[in-house]
Structure 1
């Protein structure tokens, strides 16, 4: 048995990899390796399991351990999946009529606490669908982006309830908008969904080591969960 890099026989065992194979370290060149490595094809069943685990509050390292894949492969898989996740609302078409939405902003961060990323959300009160999403700062520009993300029927006729953040008043039509406090109960549903997001998406937990390091993945993870959430409503 020798090192595949320098052919030294001065080897020591050095733990196990994600697949449970014995790792060795060369004492001369410090190369890490396994004996008889084989690139195992990741089955479709494993990929489906990973897709479901991404919807739970589990870190990527935890998913890699559970499924038995390398963290590097998993990160590349997640990068591709989030990049392909649509950034637009997919809900049943609504005719312009009596529609009511509840809106709220959820604080989050990417890489460091100072890099705040606010998740702006709008929910249809009757169907509980998420009908508007935007991730950005807490400015009027972001409130406008949330408004623009709403399907046309909601922009034409929906009445909206929000908190007292001033950006809403500058964007939402005054005759169809009311700012309310939590005690009113008018934004209970969207606030409850915010709790669901924090419970299900690990990178949104307030104190976590699973925080996002890339903004694109942060945005992708939120959109991925929103699409799953809306799809689950249609199945019920």
Structure 2
């Protein structure tokens, strides 16, 4: 049976009924282009403006369920956007160009987890004390292997010229150049900027709040959330 429904994107009126969807709605099929569709679908693709709004809300510690309620879209729609974003987010620091001179870097590590507390993911960070930029990031375990990965994530000029201040975590001692590395107490003030950034990171990324229902279930999304905020933070320093 053919019905006249001028709803197919191709403009054809040669549309026939084609069974029902799993939600019980009448399904239609265009005889000319072969497209299947329903009238007044409950699901609609999010617009570019909504995508930008989702990204801004994710940077303000709003949960995915909260975003879905605000935008009046399904949580699955928000999750699909987050999953797609995780694939394309750049996992390398963007920072301003530095000349070869003495640079001061502060390093620290931040505990987090994925899916459960047994799956620990430590966030290792390096910050330029002069510009406040994040110049190195690694997410992994708490071993010297991760400390080395953080060291390698920094641009060459920092590895060649920077004086580095850390806490007394032993993993740093086996990796950082001994003549340019200083282990200090918190009350020294030499790691105050990176410790303050850790607080900012926890406040702005809901996945890092200790007592929260917004924890990550996928490592890829966990990494993307942290990297997205780092890029946003560094970009805001240039304004």
Do both proteins adopt the same fold according to a TM-score greater than 0.5, normalized to the shorter chain? yes
Instruction: Say whether the 8 Å CA contact 1:56–1:200 is kept in structure 2.
Output: yes
SS in 1 for 2:84: helix
2:233 aligned with 1:229: yes
**Corresponding residue for residue 62 of structure 1:** 66
Instruction: Say whether the 8 Å CA contact 1:82–1:224 is kept in structure 2.
Output: no
CA distance in 2, matches of 1:214, 1:4: 30
SS in 2 for 1:141: helix
CA distance in 1, matches of 2:107, 2:135: 10
Of 118-127 and 55-64, more deviation after overlay is shown by 55-64
CA distance in 1, matches of 2:57, 2:166: 32
**Corresponding residue for residue 174 of structure 2:** 170
**Number of residue pairs matched by the alignment:** 207
Counterparts in 2 of 1:52-131, with a 5 A limit? 52-131=56-135
Report the CA distance shift for 1:41/1:183 in structure 2 as closer, same or farther (over 3 A).
same
**Corresponding residue for residue 203 of structure 2:** 199
Q: Which runs of 4+ in 1 moved over 2 A?
A: 3-7, 35-41
Report the CA distance shift for 1:50/1:5 in structure 2 as closer, same or farther (over 3 A).
closer
**Corresponding residue for residue 24 of structure 1:** none
1:5: Cα distance to partner?
Answer: 5.6
Name structure 1 gaps, 5 residues minimum: 8-34
1:36: Cα distance to partner?
Answer: 4.3
**TM-score, with length taken from structure 2:** 0.83
Report the CA distance shift for 1:5/1:219 in structure 2 as closer, same or farther (over 3 A).
closer
CA distance in 1, matches of 2:184, 2:116: 31
1:38: Cα distance to partner?
Answer: 4.3
Q: Which digits, 9 at most, give the CA deviation of each residue in 1:48-83, with x for residues without a partner?
A: 111100101111111111112211111111111121
Find the partner of 2:190 among 175, 186, 192.
Answer: 186
Of 65-74 and 161-170, more deviation after overlay is shown by 65-74
SS in 2 for 1:228: helix
Please give the root-mean-square deviation of Cα atoms over the aligned residues, in Å.
1.7
**Corresponding residue for residue 29 of structure 1:** none
SS in 1 for 2:232: helix
SS in 1 for 2:224: helix
Q: Which digits, 9 at most, give the CA deviation of each residue in 1:1-39, with x for residues without a partner?
A: xx96697xxxxxxxxxxxxxxxxxxxxxxxxxxx94344
**TM-score, with length taken from structure 1:** 0.84
**Corresponding residue for residue 41 of structure 2:** 37
Of 225-234 and 64-73, more deviation after overlay is shown by 64-73
Report the CA distance shift for 1:113/1:5 in structure 2 as closer, same or farther (over 3 A).
closer
**For the pair shown, which has the larger CA radius of gyration, 1 or 2?**
2
